[in-house]
Amino acid sequence: MAIHALPSDRRSRGFSLIELLVVIAIIGLLIALLLPAVQAAREAARRSQCTNNLKQLALACHNYADANGVFPMGSFKRVADTCKDNHEHGIFVALLPYLEQQTLFDGFNANGHYTDPPNSTFMAVGLSVLCCPSDPLVANANSQHFGYPIRFTSYMGSTGTWNSPPVFSGPNCAAYNFGAMLNQANGVFFYYSSVRLKDVTDGTSKTFLFGEHAYGKNPAVELPDWSWWLSGNYGDTMFTTLFPMNPHKKIPDIPNEPLYGTDINPTIQAASSYHDGGVHLAFCDGSVRFLSDAIDCSPFNAATGLPEGWSLGPGFIYSIAPPGRMGLYQALSTRSGNETQSSAY
């Protein structure tokens, strides 16, 4: 009698519910482990692009100086009355021909204010070299003020340890001594600046040229009134080291800032960024470095609106008395302060 083998069970066996849940959990865990690495890689690419933007601005600035003998002027004003706020266009307009934007530069109407209707198209142009890719808002246009779009910038020129504006809108305008304050300007860019490379006697590798400014860190204050790329005003295209780097992490609003006699938010005029831990800064030698926001800095006194030991005297002239001092961060922003600067930054 023939013996027949039992037929094999050919039915395919599927996953049980428990096995399926385990597989899903493993996939989810792998994605959770991979996602931070992807995000870190993307941020590294954005930081690299931000560094490249600053290098392009520094190179354009040096090409401008080669052609004109001086770095671009921070800004100026046509109105003779120093008590009226009428600042003109700033650094980035002058740099356009050296950023391969000659045609755009030729279209700017320099006979009027940068906000005048003839420059409306000009104001609406967004330049990628002025936008940090980690800054989520800077590329957006806003049309609230003039009825046409305004573009913004992630970068500002270094004006040194304090600003030197030819305006004062507070109650003591008559006491404002712009000429004396201008003589005290110690950065590279300021109103009517004409700084030559040889004027940077502290060393080009130890003097700030440009820095990052994170647009919209304090939306209620900054949007959309600041960081206009055409403007030459402080808080638009010039920053000061009077306030510490990334001040939104360190100090509050100043209810009675002594220079203006009004509420001032330090985030407007300080270097800051959306990169964790610090800010990219371009130096006068063309190099770009990422400085930690834990860098040595003059201790700030929010009650006075100034660093400890710093004061404003008659004519609104700054002075520093013991125990006040220049921190390393402040020293790196001055072009000819003769401060002792550590190489460990």
Q: Does residue 7 fall inside a structural domain?
A: no
Q: Does residue 143 fall inside a structural domain?
A: yes
Q: Using pLDDT thresholds of 50, 70 and 90, give the confidence band for residue 331.
A: very high
pLDDT for residue 80 is more than 60: no
Q: What is the pLDDT of residue 12?
A: 56
Mean pLDDT of the region 312-334 = 87
The secondary element (H helix, E strand) that includes residue 281 is strand 278-283
Pairwise pLDDT comparison (343 vs 270), residue with the higher score: 270
Instruction: Provide the residue range defining the domain that includes 239.
Output: 41-331
Q: Does residue 220 fall inside a structural domain?
A: yes
What distance separates the 2 farthest-apart alpha carbons in the chain? 125
The secondary element (H helix, E strand) that includes residue 178 is helix 178-183
* Local structure of 311: helix, strand or coil: strand
Number of Cα atoms under 13 Å in the Cβ half of residue 147:
3
Lowest mean pLDDT among 28-32, 127-131, 183-187: 28-32
Kindly report the pTM of this predicted structure: 0.85
Which residues partner with 238 through β-bridges? 157, 234
Q: What is the pLDDT of residue 248?
A: 83
Number of domains in the chain: 1
Q: What is the pLDDT of residue 20?
A: 77
Lowest mean pLDDT among 51-60, 75-84, 188-197, 320-329: 75-84
> What tokens appear for 344 in the block?
């460990």
> What tokens appear for 90 in the block?
């700033």
Q: Does residue 61 fall inside a structural domain?
A: yes
Q: What is the pLDDT of residue 111?
A: 86
At 140, the amino acid letter reads: N
Tell me if 345 sits within 8 A of 205, measured CB to CB.
Answer: no
Lookup result for tokens 């961060």: 329
Q: What is the pLDDT of residue 270?
A: 92
Tell me if 265 sits within 8 A of 251, measured CB to CB.
Answer: no
Q: Does residue 339 fall inside a structural domain?
A: no
Q: What is the pLDDT of residue 323?
A: 87
Q: Does residue 26 fall inside a structural domain?
A: no
Pairwise pLDDT comparison (29 vs 284), residue with the higher score: 284
CB-based burial of residue 11 (10 Å sphere; 0-12 exposed, 13-18 middle, 19+ buried)?
exposed
Number of Cα atoms under 13 Å in the Cβ half of residue 148:
12
Rounded CA gap, 147 and 120, in Å? Answer: 9
Rounded CA gap, 108 and 118, in Å? Answer: 8
Which residues partner with 77 through β-bridges? 87
Q: Using pLDDT thresholds of 50, 70 and 90, give the confidence band for residue 14.
A: low
Q: Does residue 33 fall inside a structural domain?
A: no
> What tokens appear for 196 in the block?
């030559």
Q: Does residue 6 fall inside a structural domain?
A: no
